[in-house]
Chain A
Amino acid sequence: MKLILFIWRQQGADDPGKLVRYDTSEISAEMSFLEMLDVVNEGLVKDGKEPIAFDHDCREGICGTCSQVINGVPHGPQERTTVCQLHMRQFKDGDKIYIEPWRARAFPIVKDLIVDRSSLERVMQAGGYISVHTGCAPDANSILIRREDAETAMDAAECIGCGACVAACPNGSAMLFTAAKVTQFASLPQGQTEAKHRVCMMTEVMKHEGFGSCTNHYECQAVCPKGLKTSFIARLNREFLKALDSPEMPESFSGGFLNRGNPSR
């Protein structure tokens, strides 16, 4: 099939960047979206031009590395699917496809379609863990957990940290990502000790990194390749209310180790 691609090209953070048109042929419906871009890049290399830079790793929909906004939708038109698992049969011969990078203050563009998502890592570092000696793997059922809670925790843990929620959010908020982590730990007994500290710190660092706040547009849920739900955000809000009386709430947030932070800030 023949396609008309408009792809965001940007040399680096300081380059203004622009959409560049590429006309392709010999694209088969069986190709994945990234394989289609591989073909385009091979052509560019043959012509002595610079290939399009894009993030990819596992190409089987579990690593959360691929990150492209396709015709205005993060990860493209197919629901609950990452870019790498999107196939060209979703498109028709002669289609125009716009490919843009994740857009958010907290995700500065590195090159072309690649953005720096380390801000999500710093949100994780602020509280996305439990501080206990885990020792050996415990015996099965030595810690009893209600089945519903285990299921909720597993659903939340499905987050692959791709950042599509941020890319889709009109406010550039990482609320679904942060809420998934908070819900995952808050659902399990191991996560209780640091629950208050976690929700306060993770939301503080989220703001510090330049993410916006949630105004309940629910765009994140619509694009999440793992089908994470905004009910996790309601859970985060509940966890925050629980921390209201807590000395864990940081009086003033200095950033500490996070001061290295987002270079674009």
Chain B
Amino acid sequence: MMELLTMDGHGIYVWSAYILTTCVLLGLGIYPFIRLSRLKQRYQEDNELK
């Protein structure tokens, strides 16, 4: 397990690249749904005001 984490001194580079990639992919996947739900909420509030 330690070998997989340290990777002979390269672990810091390899894991940081994978963690960064995962974070960006998660953000790209989730953000459009958050935006859409906010937009729907805004339209609903606008409709209630009319």
- Co-complex (A, B): no
Which residues of A are interface residues toward B (Cβ below 8 A)? none
